[in-house]
Structure 1
Amino acid sequence: MSTSAGTWSGPARQGPGPDAEPAVLERELSEAVLAGAGCLDVLRALRRATGTHVRLLSVEGVPLATTDGGAGVPAAVAEGVLAGGAAPAVDTLDGSRATALPVRAGTTVAGVLLTVGADDPRVRALAGAAVTALLIDAVRAGGDPVEFSVRHTPADVVAALRSTTVSASVCAAAAGLGIDLQRPQAGAVLRYHGSRLRAWSTALAWLEHPVQQDGRTAWTVVPDETVLARLRNRLRLMTGDESADRVVSYTHRQVVAASGSRTDSPEDLARSFTEAERLLGLARAQQEPLLTYDRCGVVQVLLPLPRARLEAYAEAHLGPIRQRPELMATLRAWLAERGSRQSVSEQLHLHRNSVGYRVRQIKNLLGTDPLLPAASARLHLALTALDLLAADDHAADPQVCGEDEPVSAGR
């Protein structure tokens, strides 16, 4: 594609001004390109007509020519625009807001045209008037029409399903990878907490299942818990961090997995992935190797709630003892063991009389008997809310998650 000024010269080179009509602009730009004007000439004329900076991007979202030297957009965004499945308003990689327009006619594609700034119907119409000229330039520069076909890697497909916009081409690619979006699917996430990061990446690459990886974390789509458990177990074995003489609870923490609710709609998978990520933090905090939406109990009620609501509920029901770790531990054990003083005594390594004393304190401070059905339900929910808050904090702390651990050669 030519970006030079070509042979467009004289007064016509200035192009239409800010009062130009789209039809007039389209005719003049097309004639100019046929006379030898280049892509950059077209963009400059469009800049004068619209009063906004414009950028032409490749099908991968990389700038081909611009009037402001600005950046492009992620490849997935450009592909969505060209496939017709994305909204016209986009965010560029340099933080600008822009309106995107596909520059294509059938299989002939020149790229993606951006007009920088808020969406404006007149600016959009003028930008549309430049499409023909840009296509003529693209065909002339390439000799033959540029064939455009969307190609998705497995990681691209999973990344698209994690977003809120799922194009028809993504659905088709998902089907080719064995993801049947006509049946309920759930977003799933796996996280590696061992020391062999290269082995983890290699194991993911060898999976016969589409995944998107970012460091220690991998996302995928699964139809049910059985598939997720199989993937987790295979990754656990392939990383080689585990051996038969290790403690089981430690072994389980090397690869932790979680999945969100199953949904019939590809567009709802983004929510399922969000649920999975919160459940993953909870699984890690509770030292559970695998946690799914279907098996997370009352956590289902809490997952959609924002942090402030969880905090308020926990404070309302546990406030008087929240800053007393010994009482919180006793309450958890007391509820779990259904009031068995002997079991709590053994679990917390306390004398039976000490357990009784603490339980009396809890009753007095909370103003209720924790074993009463209604009180027990409220306290279980409040403790779960605290667990979810702690899990969110745990997931947000890179030191806790091990993000800074170096990759050792030969490990």
Structure 2
Amino acid sequence: MGITTVGTVGTVGAWSGAARGGPGPDAEPAALERELTEAVLAGAARSDVLRALCGATGRPARLLSARGVPLAATDGGAGVPAAVAHGVLAGTAGEVVDTLDGLRATALPVRAGATVAGVLLTLGPGDPRVRALAGAAVTALLIDAVRTGEESAEAPPRHTPADVVAALRSGTVSPSQRAAAASLGIDPQRPPAGAVLHYSGSRLRAWSTALAWLEHPVQQEARTAWTVVPGEAVLARLRNRLRLMTGDESADHVVAASGSHPDSPEDLARSFTEAERLLGLARTRHVPLLTYDGCGVVQMLLPLPRARLEAYAEAHLGPVLRRPELMATLRAWLAERGSRQSVSEQLHLHRNSVGYRVRQIKNLLGTDPLLPDAAAELHLALAALDLLAADDRRLRGVDDDGAVPAGR
């Protein structure tokens, strides 16, 4: 194969089948790389490189920007979706892609460190030899990008796992973040649930170290960490591992919660919001782990705005709502299913005092709290109060020890 230069501007000359191996089936990748590199150093343009590659492979060649837009092509064809180009450059897409004009092509990233020249396509089905020959053109195209100052300013950013989780929480996921999520094992077609964990112990450095050692992508803000999980079993393992790694004796120092399973990555934002509300509820109730599937009737309350929750609690608890001693007795009475002895021990009250308070509650509410319908309504109203309290704590951004989480 021969490459000639004319004057001070280098061009790739005619590729003769008889000259030094020719561009056909006998072309060798190493020789092609050397010839193309020398030609570009002598002044050949990227369009010349693509024509030479086309001659060597017998297939059309296209160079695309980081957004999948054609920069040069031997056939004047189309590019690929931006998400596909980002995936190729991030190493998360397959070698064979479909172009916007409906053709199959082998795709190679043309990048080295911070230098990104784009995505190189050779049209046709996957073929190891064609891929090797296309790889021989990468160095020349990178040299051309540096020489002409046309490095792609559109190169997809390299997102950290924390960046990916933050994007999933916000519900605004860019194509490059979607590709980064895929590289972390987050399937866009079957997204996992949003999850949140909170640490209330004293070993914050151990907590941060333990989070850094997890295989899961994690976004941390002080005592709180967000991640994604496929199910309750995984969340339970994560919580237990973090508890052991922080070295705290108390099992309650790490609390975890997860939201519902979304139908799309965009719906993950809702799942994370559910997880945060359930975390607040778990901490209020002193429960170490609470999931959407395991929270019972609370599922009905999670989508409701604050005003609706307040109205429901007021409607069913109004007469005793501002009587802390009666509220505590009502909770215990429902939890212990009317056992005066158990309530007496739990609240440190005389049995007669428990009886007196229960009679007050019945008179004020106008019903027996243990009747099935009344009990269901009261349980739901108490859950609404707990959610409101959890939201208050979350919105204030103050932990149990008075510390304000980072970012507040």
* Deviation of the 1:205 alpha carbon: 1.0
Residues of 2 paired with 1:402 and 1:337: CA distance? 30
> Is the contact between residue 193 and residue 272 of structure 2 (CA under 8 Å) also seen in structure 1?
yes
Amino acid at match of 1:143: G
Match runs of 1:271-350 below 5 Å: 271-350=270-349
Q: What residue number does 1:201 align with?
A: 208
TM-score normalized with structure 2 length: 0.61
Note the aligned Cα RMSD (angstroms): 3.0
* Long gaps (5+) in structure 2: 1-65, 67-81, 87-115, 119-144
Number of aligned residues? 272
Q: Which among 143, 151, 162 is matched to residue 149 of structure 2?
A: 143
Question: For residues 201 and 219 of structure 1, what CA distance do their matches in structure 2 show?
Answer: 13
Partner of 2:363: 364
1:185 aligns with 2:184: no
CA contact (8 A) 1:190 1:232 kept: yes
**Equivalent position amino acid for 1:306 in 2:** P
1:62-110 deviation digits (Å, cap 9, x = unpaired): xxxxxxxxxxxxxxxxx99x97xxxxxxxxxxxxxxxxxxxxxxx769x
What's the CA shift string for 1:145-172, capped at 9, x where partnerless? 3362342211111111112222343333
- Higher alpha-carbon Rg: 2
What letter matches 1:192 in structure 2?
A: Y
How far did residue 142 of structure 1 move?
Answer: 6.3
Q: 1:145 to 1:305 in 2, by over 3 A?
A: same
- Residues of 1 paired with 2:354 and 2:259: CA distance? 38
TM-score by length of 1: 0.61
Structure 1 unmatched runs, 5+ = 1-58, 60-78, 84-106, 110-138, 244-250
Q: Distance in 2 between matches of 1:347 and 1:404?
A: 30
Alpha-carbon spacing, 1:346–1:405, altered in 2? closer, same or farther (3 Å): same
Deviations 1:316-358 (A, max 9, x none): 1111111111111111111112222222222222222222211
- 1:401 to partner: Cα distance: 3.7
8 Å contact from structure 1 (residues 188, 222) kept in 2: yes
Aligned partner of 2:181 in structure 1 is 174
Decide whether aligned partners of structure 1 residues 373 and 405 sit closer, same or farther in structure 2, where only a CA change above 3 A counts: closer
User: Residues of 1 paired with 2:306 and 2:284: CA distance?
Assistant: 17
Matched, 1:384 2:393: no
Q: Distance in 1 between matches of 2:206 and 2:196?
A: 18
- The whole-number CA distance in structure 1 between the counterparts of 2:207 and 2:317 is 41
Check conservation: 2:223, 2:405, Cα contact below 8 A.
Answer: no
Note if contact 1:262-1:272 (Cα within 8 Å) is conserved in structure 2.
yes
Match of 1:54 in 2: none
1:160–1:360 CA distance, 2 compared to 1 (3 A): same
1:244-296 deviation per Cα after TM superposition (whole angstroms, max 9, x unaligned): xxxxxxx1321111100012311100000000011111111111111111111
AA matched with 1:288: V
In the alignment, the residues of structure 2 paired with residue 267 and residue 300 of structure 1 have an alpha-carbon distance, to the nearest angstrom, of: 20
Paired amino acid for 1:196 = R
